[in-house]
Amino acid sequence: MSRLHILRYPDPRLHTIAAPVEEVNESIRSLIADMAETMYAAPGVGLAATQVNVHKQIIVIDASDTRDKLLTLINPEILAAIGVADCEEGCLSVPGIYEKIERAERVVVRARGLDGEHFDVEAEGLLSVCIQHEMDHLKGRVFVEYLSRLKQTRIRAKMQKQQRQSA
């Protein structure tokens, strides 16, 4: 396993739309193991393949307190979205920024797992928010893009300054 490089906002590659995975094979499983290692090391609660510059519909999430409940979603689709919740979100691609975003309170998602089989997951709370946030990445959308233009401009400037300082 190896840790992968995480793209930082406003990297334009974060706007790439991910393609569905055709076959869940060893190379996909190996990528997923690397994504999980990268997420746990960061540490973060979720990571989309888009963030490691692989434009395939793959997400890893662990929203548990114990950090031992890895959920892998391949080709996820939302079957139902119920209610409204606004939760403070953060993102490994936008370090240090936390903002409230409006999401569905509960979602039912269908995806393929590591064995390639389809399964449904019903989520609420942090897990629901996290699934929606990561699915947005697969569509090329970063959470800060829900904010006002003014806030986005400020965040972009802050990120570019951070990157200049670490370069």
Residues annotated as catalytic are 134
Residue with the closest Cβ to Ni ion? Answer: 91
Contacts of 156 (CB under 8 A, 6+ apart): 9, 10
* 18 touches Ni ion (CB under 5 A): no
From the CB of 158, what's the least distance to Ni ion, in Å?
16
Residue range at the interface with Ni ion (CB under 5 A); choices 10-18, 68-76, 89-97, 146-154: 89-97
- Taking the complex as a whole, the smallest distance from the CB of residue 147 to Ni ion amounts, in Å, to 14
| 3-class state of residue 47 by DSSP | strand
Stretch that binds Ni ion, among 58-66, 91-99, 100-108, 146-154 (CB under 5 A): 91-99
CB of 131 to Ni ion, least distance (A): 12
Cβ–Cβ < 8 Å for 63, 130: yes
Query: Exposure string (b/e) for 54-88, b if CB count within 10 Å is 16 or more?
Result: bbbbbbbbbbeeeeeebbbbbbbeeeeeeeebebe
The 33-72 site mask, x for binding Ni ion (CB under 5 A), equals ----------------------------------------
Of positions 74, 91, 104, 138, contacts Ni ion by CB under 5 A:
91
Nearest-angstrom CA–CA distance, 158 and 3 = 25
Q: List the Cα angle 123/89/120 in 5-degree steps.
A: 20
**Residues near Ni ion, by CB under 5 A:** 91
